[in-house]
Amino acid sequence: MHDQKQTLPLHVTYPYRPSLPSSSSSSPSPVSAIPKSPPLLLRRWKGLTLTILFLIGVQLVLQIKWYEPSLDHTATTSNGPTFAEVEEEVVTPTGSISKDPMRVPLTDLGVEADDSYILGDTSPSAYIASAIDFVQHSLPPQHQIMILDALPQFFPNAENLFKNRLGDVAHTMTSGSSSQLPLPAMIDFKHVWQTNKDRVGDLGGWLLMNPDWEWSMLDDRQADEWIDRYFPASEVKAMWHALPLGIMRADTLRYLLLLVHGGVYSDVDTACLKPISTWASKAVLWKDGKDWLIPPSETTTLESMKESLGPPSFVIGVEADIGSRPDWHMWYARPLQLVQWTFASTPSHPILLDVISRIVNTTNHNLPKWLASRDAKVAQLRRQGDPSEVADRLMTLPPWADSKDGGLASVMEWTGPGVFTDSAFRYLNARYNFTWADLRGLREPLRVGDVAILPVTGFSPGVGQFGAGEMYDPQAMVHHRFAGSWKDDRSDQRKPRISHFGKT
C-alpha cells in the first residue's frame, strides 16, 4: 500500500563549493582600499557602514518571517519515540541513553543514519514500564487483560519488573527462566487479513496456497464496525476517528487486527508465492544463537538450539537497504527500512503495541497541539497586517505534510513504514540488543529471538535493487504488484514510489 520505491541516480554530482581564501591572500580588503583619512572620520565611516549592514540584515530577517511563516514545533513530535514521550534522547547500541554527540556511529554512514531511527529509551525497564502504561491508559479492559498476560512471555527474565509495575495483577507471570521458550508461534494463528476501500475477493491466491487458513477482507464500513466492537470508549477509538486520511486508517487497521487476532496481514495487491508455513523455515540464527538463546551445553548442537526456539512469533522483511551510499537521506527516511505491506504476528506482540502507541500519541496528543499552534500563528499574522495570502497558505498546510515543510508528520512517519520500522528496531534492541546495522547486507532469512527477518527477496522480489532476486527465487515468499490503491485517496499527498535506482 505504501508504494514508495524511490530511485537513486547512478552518479551523484555534488554542488561545487569553492574553498575560502587563505589568510595569506594578497587581495586588498575593502578597508585597506579606502583612502587614508583622519582617524575620527575613519571611525565614523566604519560605524555608519556597520549600521547600514545591520539594518539590511534586520530587513532580510523580517522579509523571511513575512513570507515564510513557520509553526512552533516545540510542543510536538512526529510520532512519539516511545509509549510515553522521551525527548532529545539517543539510543546507544547497548540500549542506554546518551546525549554525547561524539559517540561512535554504528556504521560508516555516521550518527546521522543512527539518529534517523526514533527509538527512545530501549532499556528493558523503560520499555516494559511504558508498554504497561499505554495498555492501562489507552486500551479497553478486555485487551488490558489479554496483553498484560502475554507481555511477560516476551521478557522472560524481567519477572520483577512486571511485578513491581502490576503487583497482584501479575499472577500469570513466567518464572523468569529463559527455559520458558518457545514463545507463542505466529503459525498457530491461521488467518490472513486484507483490507480495501471496497470489498474484493482473494486476488492473491492466499487460500489456494494455504488451504488450511482462513481469509478475511474488511472494507471501510466493516473496519469502522470492527473498531467499535473491539475498541469501544478508548484512546484507540478516538485516534481512529481523528486520523485525517483514509490511508492512515488502512495502516493502523493492519496493526490492530494482528494485535487482537494474530495471523498474516498483506496488502490487496500482493500475491502469495509460497505457503506461509515455509516463511523463514530455513532462517539462520543471529550470531549462532550466542548471548540471546539458551546457553548451549557441551552436547547441545545448533540444530537442537533451533528446535528449542520454536517457530517465530513475528515475521518481517527488509524493503530497502541503501548500503554505504552517503546520499541515502535524499531517497529514504532511513538507510534500512522494513516492509509493512506484508507481515505476520502472534496476538499481543510488543512491536504492534509500540507502533499503535506511537500513532495514538501523534493523533490524540500532538495533532491538537499542532493545529492550535498553526491557528495561533495565522491569527498573529493577521493581527500584524501580513498579506492575507500568507495566512491563507499557512491555514491550508495539512498536518500530514513533511515536518521539514512545517507539517506535523508525513504519512510514512505517522502511520507507515517509517514508524513501523522504528517500533520493530526498538523491540529488537530492548529484547536482544540488536540494531539496524546488524541487518545490513542481509541475503538469507535471519532469526533474532522470536522475530524472523527476511531479506529483500522475501517480500519484494523482482524490484531490481538491494540485491533482490526474482519471483522464482527460492526465498521469494510474496510478490507485491505496487498497485497503490491509496492513490485513489485524493487527500493523500504522498508520491508513488519509483522502482529502480536511476530509472523512473
| Residues facing 285 on adjacent strands | 447
Q: How confident is the model at residue 488 (pLDDT cuts 50, 70, 90)?
A: very low
Look up residue 103 and give its amino acid. Answer: R
Cβ–Cβ under 8 Å, residues 402 and 396: no
Q: Which has the minimum average pLDDT: 36-50, 285-299, 349-363?
A: 36-50
Q: Contact at 8 Å (CB) between 441 and 133?
A: no
Show the cell assigned to 474.
527460492
Q: Residue 408: pLDDT above 90?
A: yes
Indicate the pLDDT class of residue 392, thresholds 50, 70 and 90. Answer: confident
| Spatial CA neighbour of 127 closest among 98, 167, 97, 170 | 97
Instruction: Specify which residues 446 forms β-bridges with.
Output: 284, 453
Statement: residue 345 has pLDDT above 60: yes
Quote the pLDDT of residue 208: 96
Q: What is the pLDDT of residues 203-258, one digit of tens each?
A: 899 999 999 999 999 999 999 999 999 999 999 999 999 999 999 999 999 999 99
With bands split at pLDDT 50, 70 and 90, how would you rate the model's confidence at 81?
very low
pLDDT at 207: 96
Residue 57: all three cell numbers together: 540584515
Return d(Cα 176, Cα 150) in angstroms, integer: 14
What distance in Å separates the CA atoms of residue 369 and residue 434, rounded to the nearest whole number?
34
> Are the C-beta atoms of residues 257 and 340 closer than 8 Å to each other?
no
d(CA 243, CA 489): 14
R_g (Cα) of the chain, nearest Å? 27
Q: Indicate whether 7 pLDDT > 70.
A: no
Range from 67-71, 290-294, 352-356 carrying the lowest mean pLDDT: 67-71
- pLDDT reported for residue 330: 83
Please, what is the average pLDDT of the chain?
Answer: 78
Using an 8 Å Cβ cutoff, are 63 and 365 in contact?
no
pLDDT > 70? residue 59: no
Pair 76, 370: CB distance under 8 Å? yes
In sequence order, the 6+-apart residues with CB closer than 8 A to the CB of 134 are: 83, 84, 353, 357, 360
The cell for 353 is 503495541
Q: Examine the pLDDT at 182 and tell me if it is beyond 90.
A: no
CA 4 to chain centre: 14
The pLDDT score that the predictor gives to residue 79 is 47
Tell me the average pLDDT across 80-97.
36
Please give the Cα distance from 295 to 302 (Å, whole number): 11
Residue listed under C-alpha cell 522502482: 499
The predicted pLDDT at position 497 comes to: 30
Cell numbers describing residue 3: 508504494
316: pLDDT strictly greater than 60: yes
Q: Where are the alpha helices (DSSP H) in 196-262?
A: 206-209, 220-230, 235-242, 246-260
Sequence-ordered strand ranges (E) for 25-110: 90-91, 97-98
- Residue 498 pLDDT: 27
User: 193 - beta bridge partners?
Assistant: 216, 265
pTM exceeds 0.75, yes or no? yes
Which cell is 177 given?
A: 527462566
**How does residue 380 score in pLDDT terms, banded at 50, 70 and 90?**
confident
Give the pLDDT confidence score for residue 390 in this predicted structure: 80
Looking at residue 354, its pLDDT comes to 98
Contacts of 413 (CB under 8 A, 6+ apart): 78, 79, 333, 403, 419
- What average pLDDT does the segment 452-471 reach? 92
Give residue 66's pLDDT.
33
Residue of 443, 493, 447 lying closest to 473 (CA atoms): 443
pLDDT confidence bin for 156, thresholds 50/70/90: confident
- Check pLDDT > 90 for residue 348: yes
Q: Which residue is listed with cell 489507552?
A: 138
For residue 346, the model assigns a pLDDT of 97
- pLDDT at 87 exceeding the cut of 90: no
Averaged over 385-393, what is the pLDDT?
76
Percent of the chain with pLDDT over 90: 52
> What's the one-letter identity of residue 268?
V
